[in-house]
Amino acid sequence: MSNIFSLTFRSSAFIIQFLDYWNTRTDLRQLFNQQQLPDLPPPISGDKNLGKNSPISLNLCPICGHKRTNATALTSSGYVFCYSCIHSYLIKNNRCPITGFPSKLEQLVRIFS
């Protein structure tokens, strides 16, 4: 009699834990699907208006306007800056200077060439 009660109790506990796991997993999946990601900025094209002195030139830092040193990409927007420029800008503003997307220092990636 005690063996049947023990087996029933353990089986019931397992079923309750499984149902709790299943519901938590479904809730997390719904939470991740509902997160809104910002729209990506348009890519830089070969626009004739982008000259050598344009701040969005392919070789110049959009913040200081000089040739990039220690090229660093900001993963929230994809733009490339000087490391020192973007580091100090993010500390003060916590957003991308081009797109305005919320950004953190952890989103900086060094570009090796």
Claim to verify: residue 33 and residue 60 sit in the same structural domain: no
Residue 2 has pLDDT above 50, yes or no: yes
Q: What is the pTM of this model?
A: 0.52
Matching residue, tokens 């002195």: 53
Domain-located, residue 109: yes
Into how many domains does the chain fold?
2
Range of the domain at 81: 50-113
Domain-located, residue 43: no
pLDDT, one tens digit per residue, over 33-54 is: 555 556 666 655 544 444 444 4
Claim to verify: residue 27 and residue 61 sit in the same structural domain: no
3-class secondary structure, 109: strand
Domain-located, residue 96: yes
pLDDT, one tens digit per residue, over 49-88 is: 444 444 456 788 999 989 998 999 999 888 999 999 999 9
* Residues 12, 17, 21, 23, Cα dihedral to 10°: 50
Domain-located, residue 45: no
For 91: left if phi > 0, alpha if psi spans -120 to 50, otherwise beta; the answer is alpha
Claim to verify: residue 29 and residue 77 sit in the same structural domain: no
